[in-house]
Structure 1
Amino acid sequence: MNAKVNRHEFADRLTLADKLAREVAAKLDAAIKARGKATIAVSGGGTPKVMFAVLAEQEIDWSRVTVTLVDERWVDTDSDRSNARMVSSTLLTHEARVASFLPLFDRAHKDDVDAALADVGKRVDALGSPFDVVLLGMGPDGHTASFFPGGDHLAEALDLAGKQPVLSMRAEGAGEPRITLSLPRVLDTRALYLHIEGDDKKDLLGKALAGADFPIAAVLKQDRVPVDVYWAP
């Protein structure tokens, strides 16, 4: 088990959002000052929306930041289910409106996620590595990114020796087909955060840390990069 799981607990979700947003902004700002640019991969869902709104107001040089996604439902960007749409409306606003954005959905292959993997993978690779920041979430089934229990490409996605930057994923709990960064690509980052909220997620995290076989455990037990867990009730 990775000894570098750092847990940060807060009394409420607004405080968490403020602290995490400022921490992420500081990482991006440091990357810009050191290397002239910064990259961040973010997750969708409802949990990060407030934090994204706070992050969008941080005064860094967003014109030098590229934002991409950890995973995406294979739906067009005008769908209510689109992570790209959510990120565009919550994070890519205010100060952050000038950031560059690389969505994972490829309209040229809108009917076949597998046909899009090569092109999307090249675009992700073109961002360079490592990422400066990766932000993960966790579902009630213990999935993170699109690493769903029972996923058709789960073993491949979690293979630390894997070479593909992105894979497709279909699973009973996933709804639509998905595209996701592989675990090696997720871990190829200077800073990795897991943002979770609620007592149920805290309990699930504890089980994963204790060795339960949830997909999130693959992130927690690796030794490539420390994981900072941000939690509020």
Structure 2
Amino acid sequence: MNAKLVRHEFADKPTLADKLARDVASKLDDAIAARGKATLAVSGGSTPKMMFALLAEQEIDWSKVTITLVDERWVDTDSDRSNARLVGEHLLHHEAHTAAFLPLFDRAHKDDVDAALADVGARIDALGLPFDALILGMGPDGHTASFFPGGDNLAAALDPNGKATVISMRAGGAGEPRITLTLPKVLDTRTLYLHIEGQDKKDLLAQAEAGADFPIAAVLKQSKVPVEVYWAP
């Protein structure tokens, strides 16, 4: 059985960013009202920068929100490759400056991502899953999170019955070693968004839906949670 895909298409990127920011904020606000707190997992890259800036301006009780990452390059936060740095520069501002942020990079194990997995996984588990909202992106090679084609731990990361919370990943297209939530943890969310832009990404997603062997297909083939696809040219 495949996931239910709910498609949201917009005329341009600013309109998409504004609508997605408002929708995510609404989900977090609902979670705070229902449970007194909210959790959000976000992805890095250049695509979400505009959306992060708009999300930061949404007027909710950010002091009750914890933000973490779907995946991270194993680099310190002073690196321009750091997703944590991206979040700090674009999201943890304005109204959202009071949100808590849980990074995936562990400086105590800066030279060995595998040595950090147990501690980082325990911190994520302590948030109390499911996430209230989780936002994925997609690369031109069909990867999402750090599920890279040819990744050394790709099969384990995509195992629907896997018990690990986070896993390391090394792949030719990844650059640095990575740490990533596993597929079961990505899917352990009340709302799952896929934010993509450009005709090439739309075409690639269609290929994955049709059966092409891209890592994003693992998200499309599951039936646990609907996928809210936000796209603009």
User: Same fold by TM-score, threshold 0.5 exceeded?
Assistant: yes
Name 1:63's counterpart in structure 2: 63
1:59-208 matches, within 5 Å, as 59-208=59-208
- AA matched with 1:71: D
- AA matched with 1:63: S
- AA matched with 1:173: G
Name 2:52's counterpart in structure 1: 52
Name 1:33's counterpart in structure 2: 33
Contact 2:3/2:222 (<8 A) preserved? no
1:210 has 2:232 as partner: no
1:222 has 2:222 as partner: yes
Distance 2:97 2:89 in 1: 10
TM-score by length of 1: 0.99
Distance 2:76 2:146 in 1: 17
Contact 2:67/2:99 (<8 A) preserved? yes
For residue 3 of structure 1, report the CA deviation from its aligned partner: 4.8
SS in 2 for 1:180: strand
TM-score by length of 2: 0.99
Distance 1:51 1:202 in 2: 19
Distance 2:211 2:41 in 1: 27
- AA matched with 2:114: D
- AA matched with 1:194: L
Bigger Cα displacement from structure 2, 2-11 vs 61-70: 2-11
Distance 1:98 1:160 in 2: 35
Name 1:16's counterpart in structure 2: 16
For residue 96 of structure 1, report the CA deviation from its aligned partner: 0.3
For residue 105 of structure 1, report the CA deviation from its aligned partner: 0.1
- AA matched with 1:54: L
After the TM superposition, which segments of 4 or more aligned residues of structure 1 sit over 3 Å from their partners?
Answer: none
SS in 1 for 2:173: helix
Tell me, which stretches of 5 or more residues in structure 2 are unaligned? none
Distance 2:41 2:83 in 1: 12
Name 2:42's counterpart in structure 1: 42
- AA matched with 1:183: L
- AA matched with 1:165: T
SS in 1 for 2:29: helix
